[in-house]
C-alpha cells in the first residue's frame, strides 16, 4: 500500500515537474531556435502530454486499488459502485498513511523537501494525494494538452520575425511592429502548468499560497501578453492588484492558523522520534452530530491533538496541556482563506478582473481564466473544507449565490463573444462556491471538473471563431457561421447544452455497455444528458435540501434556480447569435473559414469529455464516485444546529434530488425556448426589447456599476493620495536635494576658476615662455655654414678677450 503511495507520488511529481523543465529549456534556449521555429511548442506539448500520461497512469493505479470505479477489472465482473466496498476498503485504509476521521478517505501524504525551519515553524514542500488531487491532475493535464495543441495553431501568426499588431498604433499612424513571441507564449504556458499542478499537489497551506502566487504571476504575464496594447497591460495590472486584495485575507488566515495550530500541514506528519504530529484536518474534528469539542465556557474549540489506541485523534484529557482556538478566530481564519479564493475565483465583490482578463490570447482564457486557475479558488475551498465552520459556509454560499446571479445577468447583454463566456465563467464559479457553501462538497467539486471541460471547450470554440473571423470578437457582426465552420459550431453546441444543463428524461443510453475497459455503466441506463446537467443538478439539490433545513435562507435555492434559466438563455443566445441567422457583416462572412485540424481536433476531444465525463450523475457516476472518496467525513451526516445554520445530510439531499432536478430542467428549457424565440426565430426583435428596457440594459451593460464604484471608491482616492505623495516628493524632497546640488555646483564653479586661473596659469606660462624662446632661437639656425664658423671664431675671440680682461692677473 505504501508502495502505491510512492508510485502515485512519483508519477504525479514527474507530471508536476516536467512543465518546469520545459519552461526552463524554453526560456533559456528557445531564442536560439529562431522565431519561426515551432520547437518550443512541441517541447511544451511533450512535457504536458507526458504529464497527462503519468497522471492518467496514477489515476488508473489508484482506481484499481479503490475498487474499480472507472476502469474495468481484468476479469469482467459485476461491481457494485454505489456502495463503498467495505472489505477492500478496510485493507486500503489500514495501511494508508494517515487515517482520518473514519475509514472513508484514503490519503497519501509526505514531504518532498524541507525548505526551512524557524523555531517550530516548518516550511516544506509536501504532497497530499487523494482522489480529488488525482482527478484535478488528470483534468488539468488533459485540458492543458488539448489547449497546447490548439495554441500551436492559434498562435501560429506569431511565428514571424516581424509581427504587425493591428490594434496598436504608433505615433505616425502606422501599426506597431515587433518580433513574434511564439516561444515566449509557450514558455509562459509551461510555467503556468507547473504552478497549477504544484498548487494541486501541495501538502500544506503555505505551499498552496506559494503556488497560488505563482499562478497569479503567470496569469499576469499571459493577460499582458500583448503588452503594447494599453487595454491588455491595464487588464493585467487589474487582475494582479485585485488578487492582492484577496491574498491579503489569505495571509491573515495563514497567520491565524499558524498561531493557533502551529502547523500548516493538511495531513499528519511522522516526526523523527517515531511519533505522529497531527495535521490541520486532524486537529479539527466533529462528533456524530457535527459539533466541535468545546471548552467549558463554550467559546473555545478544543483541538484534538492526541491519538488513541486506534489512531483516531482525541481531545487530550483535562489534566494535560490542551490547544484551543476561539470559535470566532476559526471563523475569521476560514473567512480569510476564503478571501483568497474570492480573489482567485473572481467572486463577488472581486469579480471585476476576470472579464478584463479576456485581453489575453484565447487559449489563455480557456486554460487559465476558465478551466484551471480560476477554479483553484474553488479547489482550495474544497480542500480546506474541514476547517470551515457553518457560519463561514453560509458566507461562501451567499457570495457564490450573488456572484452567480450578477454575472449571469451581465452575460445577457454582453456582445463580445469572449466576454459572454467570461461572465458565464464567473457565474459558474459562483455556482461551485454555492454548492460548497450549502454543504454539497461533492457537488461543488463535481461542477468544478465538468465546468472545466465544457468551458475550456467553449473558449477554444470561441478562439476558433475569432481566428476564423480574423480577430472579430463582436457577435453582432457574426451570424450564420454554422455552414462556414461546422465543426466549431457543433462542438460549441455540445458545450452550450452541457452548461445549460439540458437533458431529455426518459431516454436511456445503453450503448456504454459496449465500451470495453469502462466498468461502471453496465447495469444502468442513463438519462440522455451532458455533463453540466448532472453537476448543476447536484448543486441545486443540495441547495434545496439546505433551504428546507434553513427556511430563512430560501434565496439560496431560488436565485440559483433562476440563474440556471438565465444561463441557458444567454448561452443559447450566444450560439444562435453566432452560428444561426443571416450573416450580419457580409464582408466578414465571406472571409470566414473553418480552422485547421490542429485546432478542431482538441475541440472534438474536449467535446467528448464535456458531454460524457459526468455520465451517471451522482448516483452511479464514476466521476462523482471518485470525488466522493475524498469527501470530508463530517459532510455525510450533515449538521443539525439549534441556533446556527444546519447542513443537509446526504440522505436529505437525495430526497430533494428529484424535485430540484425537475425545477432546474424546467428553468433550462424555458431559458432555451426564450432564447430561441428571440434570437433563433426572431419572434421579438431584441433591439426592441433593449429600447423598451433601456434603463435595465444600461445598468447591466455597465456591469452593475462595479467598475465605476471601485473607480470612485478605490482608484480615484488612490490617485489623489498618489498625487499628494508626488507633490510632497516634488516640492519638499526634491527641493532639499536641489539645494544640496546647487551648493555642490557653486563649490565646483569656484574650484574651476581656481583651477583655470592659477594652476593652469602657471603651467601655461612655463609652456608659453619655453615656446617663445624656441621661436626666437629658431632664427639663429640659418643653415649657413660660413655664418656658423664666423660665430665660432667671433665667440672664441670674445672669450679670449673676456678671459684676458677679467682673469685676475698674477
Partner 1 sequence: MQPIDPNPFLIVGAVLFVCGVVCMTTKRNGIGVLMGVELVLNGANLNFITFSRCTPLGLDGQVFSLFVIVLAAAEAAVALAIALNFYNNHLTIDVDRGDELHG
Q: Could you list the residues that contact partner 1 (CB under 8 A)?
A: 777-786, 789-790, 793
**What is the grid cell recorded at 394?**
453560509
Which residues on neighbouring strands pair with residue 471, listed in sequence order?
none
What's phi and psi for 128, nearest 5 deg? Answer: -140, 105
* Contact criterion met (CB below 8 Å) for 192 and 215: yes
Which is nearer to partner 1, 116 or 785 (by Cβ)?
785
Shortest CB 792 distance to partner 1, Å? 9
Shortest CB 782 distance to partner 1, Å? 5
Which is nearer to partner 1, 689 or 796 (by Cβ)?
796
CA distance 124 to 279: 14
662, containing H or E segment: helix 650-675
Shortest CB 770 distance to partner 1, Å? 16
Which is nearer to partner 1, 662 or 782 (by Cβ)?
782
Which is nearer to partner 1, 296 or 777 (by Cβ)?
777
Which is nearer to partner 1, 741 or 793 (by Cβ)?
793
DSSP state at residue 157: G
Shortest CB 802 distance to partner 1, Å? 18
Shortest CB 805 distance to partner 1, Å? 19
1, containing H or E segment: none
Q: What is the CA radius of gyration of the chain?
A: 37
Shortest CB 772 distance to partner 1, Å? 14
Q: Which of 70, 83, 135 is nearest to 516 (CA)?
A: 70
Which is nearer to partner 1, 74 or 780 (by Cβ)?
780
Residue with cell 487523494: 130
CA distance 388 to 385: 5
* Contact criterion met (CB below 8 Å) for 627 and 514: no
Give me the torsion for CA of 718, 724, 728, 730, rounded to 10°. 90
Strands 175-178 and 324-326: unpaired
**What is the grid cell recorded at 166?**
493591428
CA distance 469 to 467: 5
Which is nearer to partner 1, 745 or 793 (by Cβ)?
793
Which is nearer to partner 1, 289 or 771 (by Cβ)?
771
DSSP of 81-93, one letter per residue?
-SS--HHHHHHHH
Shortest CB 801 distance to partner 1, Å? 14
* Contact criterion met (CB below 8 Å) for 204 and 112: no
Which is nearer to partner 1, 582 or 778 (by Cβ)?
778
Alpha carbon 501 to its chain centroid, in Å, reads: 25
Shortest CB 799 distance to partner 1, Å? 14
Which residues on neighbouring strands pair with residue 594, listed in sequence order?
none
Which residues on neighbouring strands pair with residue 313, listed in sequence order?
307
Strands 175-178 and 163-169: antiparallel
Shortest CB 766 distance to partner 1, Å? 22
**What is the grid cell recorded at 315?**
481531545
Shortest CB 742 distance to partner 1, Å? 54
The maximal CA–CA distance of the chain, rounded, in angstroms, is: 157
* Contact criterion met (CB below 8 Å) for 453 and 394: no
CA distance 390 to 403: 20
Q: Which of 385, 380, 387, 378 is nearest to 257 (CA)?
A: 387
Q: Compute how many other C-beta atoms are within 10 angstroms of the C-beta atom of residue 117.
A: 10
Shortest CB 794 distance to partner 1, Å? 9
Which is nearer to partner 1, 507 or 793 (by Cβ)?
793
Shortest CB 751 distance to partner 1, Å? 42
Which is nearer to partner 1, 597 or 791 (by Cβ)?
791
Which is nearer to partner 1, 298 or 783 (by Cβ)?
783
Shortest CB 807 distance to partner 1, Å? 18
Kindly list the distances between the CA atom of residue 267 and the CA atoms of 255, 301, 381, 384, in Å, as whole numbers in the listed order.
Answer: 18, 19, 16, 11
Residue ranges in 469-527 assigned as alpha helix (H): 486-500
Which is nearer to partner 1, 784 or 809 (by Cβ)?
784
Shortest CB 773 distance to partner 1, Å? 13
Which distant-in-sequence residues (6+ apart) come within 8 Å of 335 by Cβ? 249, 253, 392, 395
Which is nearer to partner 1, 272 or 779 (by Cβ)?
779
Which distant-in-sequence residues (6+ apart) come within 8 Å of 95 by Cβ? 1, 2
> Does residue 230 have a cis peptide bond before it, meaning omega lies within 30 degrees of 0?
no
Q: Which of 194, 499, 125 is nearest to 372 (CA)?
A: 194
Alpha carbon 802 to its chain centroid, in Å, reads: 109
Shortest CB 775 distance to partner 1, Å? 9
Which is nearer to partner 1, 74 or 803 (by Cβ)?
803
Amino acid at each position: 500500500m505504501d508502495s502505491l503511495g510512492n508510485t502515485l507520488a512519483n508519477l504525479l511529481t514527474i507530471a508536476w515537474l516536467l512543465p518546469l523543465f520545459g519552461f526552463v529549456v524554453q526560456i533559456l534556449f528557445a531564442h536560439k531556435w529562431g522565431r519561426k521555429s515551432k520547437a518550443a511548442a512541441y517541447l511544451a506539448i511533450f512535457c504536458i502530454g507526458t504529464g497527462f500520461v503519468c497522471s492518467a497512469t496514477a489515476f488508473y493505479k489508484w482506481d484499481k486499488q479503490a475498487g474499480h470505479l472507472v476502469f474495468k477489472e481484468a476479469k469482467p465482473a459485476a461491481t457494485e459502485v454505489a456502495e463503498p466496498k467495505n472489505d477492500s476498503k478496510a485493507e486500503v485504509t489500514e495501511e494508508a498513511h494517515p487515517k482520518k476521521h473514519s475509514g472513508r478517505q484514503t490519503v497519501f501524504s509526505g514531504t518532498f523537501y524541507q525548505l526551512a525551519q524557524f523555531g517550530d515553524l516548518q516550511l516544506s514542500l509536501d504532497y497530499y494525494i487523494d482522489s480529488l488531487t488525482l482527478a484535478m491532475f488528470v483534468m488539468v493535464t488533459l485540458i492543458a494538452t488539448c489547449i497546447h495543441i490548439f495554441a500551436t495553431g492559434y498562435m501560429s501568426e506569431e511565428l514571424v520575425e516581424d509581427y504587425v499588431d493591428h490594434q496598436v498604433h504608433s505615433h505616425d499612424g502606422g501599426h506597431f511592429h515587433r518580433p513574434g513571441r511564439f516561444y515566449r507564449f509557450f514558455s509562459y504556458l509551461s510555467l503556468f502548468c507547473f504552478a497549477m499542478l504544484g498548487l494541486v499537489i501541495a501538502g500544506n497551506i503555505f505551499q498552496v499560497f506559494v503556488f497560488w502566487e505563482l499562478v497569479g504571476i503567470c496569469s499576469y504575464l499571459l493577460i499582458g501578453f500583448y503588452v503594447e496594447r494599453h487595454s491588455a497591460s491595464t487588464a493585467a495590472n487589474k487582475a494582479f492588484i485585485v488578487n492582492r486584495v484577496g491574498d491579503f485575507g489569505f495571509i491573515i488566515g495563514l497567520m491565524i492558523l499558524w498561531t493557533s495550530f502551529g502547523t500548516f500541514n493538511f495531513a499528519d506528519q511522522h516526526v523523527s522520534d517515531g511519533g505522529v504530529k497531527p495535521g490541520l484536518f486532524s486537529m479539527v474534528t466533529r462528533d456524530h452530530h457535527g459539533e466541535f469539542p468545546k471548552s467549558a465556557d463554550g467559546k473555545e474549540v478544543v483541538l484534538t491533538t492526541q491519538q488513541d489506541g486506534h489512531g483516531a485523534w482525541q481531545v487530550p484529557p483535562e489534566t494535560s496541556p490542551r490547544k484551543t482556538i476561539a470559535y470566532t478566530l476559526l471563523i475569521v481564519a476560514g473567512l480569510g482563506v476564503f478571501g483568497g479564493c474570492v480573489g482567485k475565483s473572481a467572486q463577488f465583490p472581486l469579480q471585476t478582473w476576470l472579464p478584463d482578463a479576456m485581453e489575453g490570447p484565447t487559449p489563455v482564457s480557456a486554460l487559465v481564466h476558465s478551466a484551471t486557475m480560476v477554479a483553484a479558488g474553488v479547489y482550495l475551498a474544497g480542500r480546506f473544507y474541514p476547517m470551515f465552520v457553518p457560519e463561514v459556509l453560509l458566507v461562501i454560499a451567499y457570495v457564490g449565490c450573488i456572484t452567480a446571479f450578477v454575472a449571469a445577468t451581465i452575460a445577457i447583454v454582453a456582445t463580445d463573444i469572449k466576454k459572454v463566456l467570461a461572465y458565464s465563467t464567473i457565474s459558474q464559479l459562483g455556482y461551485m462556491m454555492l454548492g460548497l457553501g450549502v454543504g454539497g462538497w461533492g457537488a461543488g467539486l463535481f461542477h468544478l471538473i465538468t465546468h472545466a471541460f465544457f468551458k475550456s471547450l467553449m473558449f477554444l470554440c470561441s478562439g476558433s471563431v475569432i481566428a476564423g473571423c480574423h480577430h472579430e470578437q463582436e457577435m453582432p457582426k457574426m451570424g450564420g457561421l454554422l455552414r462556414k465552420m461546422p465543426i466549431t459550431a457543433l462542438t460549441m453546441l455540445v458545450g452550450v447544452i452541457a452548461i445549460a444543463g439540458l437533458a431529455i428524461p426518459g431516454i436511456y443510453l445503453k450503448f456504454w455497455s459496449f465500451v470495453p475497459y469502462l466498468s461502471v455503466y453496465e447495469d444502468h441506463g442513463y438519462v440522455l444528458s451532458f455533463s453540466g446537467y448532472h453537476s448543476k443538478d447536484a448543486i441545486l439539490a443540495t441547495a434545496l435540501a439546505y433551504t428546507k433545513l434553513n427556511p430563512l435562507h430560501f434565496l439560496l435555492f431560488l436565485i440559483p434556480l433562476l440563474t440556471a434559466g438565465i444561463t441557458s438563455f444567454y448561452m443559447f443566445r450566444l450560439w444562435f447569435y453566432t452560428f444561426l441567422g443571416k450573416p450580419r457583416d457580409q464582408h466578414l462572412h465571406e472571409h470566414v473559414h473553418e480552422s485547421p485540424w490542429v485546432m478542431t481536433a482538441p475541440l472534438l476531444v474536449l467535446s467528448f469529455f464535456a458531454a460524457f465525463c459526468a455520465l451517471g450523475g451522482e448516483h452511479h457516476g464514476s466521476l462523482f464516485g471518485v470525488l466522493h472518496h475524498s469527501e470530508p467525513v463530517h459532510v455525510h451526516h450533515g449538521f443539525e444546529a439549534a441556533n446556527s445554520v444546519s447542513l443537509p445530510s446526504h440522505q436529505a439531499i437525495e430526497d430533494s434530488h428529484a424535485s430540484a432536478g425537475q425545477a432546474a430542467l424546467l428553468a433550462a428549457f424555458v431559458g432555451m425556448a426564450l432564447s430561441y424565440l428571440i434570437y433563433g426565430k426572431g419572434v421579438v426583435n431584441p433591439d426592441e426589447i433593449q429600447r423598451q428596457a433601456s434603463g435595465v440594459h444600461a445598468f447591466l451593460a455597465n456591469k452593475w456599476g462595479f467598475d465605476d464604484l471601485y473607480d470612485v471608491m478605490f482608484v480615484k482616492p488612490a490617485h489623489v493620495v498618489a498625487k499628494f505623495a508626488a507633490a510632497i516628493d516634488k516640492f519638499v524632497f526634491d527641493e532639499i536635494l536641489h539645494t544640496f546640488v546647487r551648493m555642490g555646483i557653486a563649490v565646483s564653479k569656484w574650484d574651476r576658476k581656481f583651477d583655470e586661473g592659477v594652476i593652469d596659469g602657471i603651467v601655461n606660462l612655463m609652456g608659453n615662455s619655453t615656446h617663445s624662446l624656441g621661436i626666437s632661437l629658431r632664427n639663429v639656425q640659418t643653415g649657413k655654414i660660413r655664418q656658423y664658423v664666423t660665430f665660432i671664431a667671433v665667440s672664441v675671440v670674445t672669450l679670449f678677450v673676456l678671459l684676458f680682461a677679467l682673469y685676475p692677473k698674477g
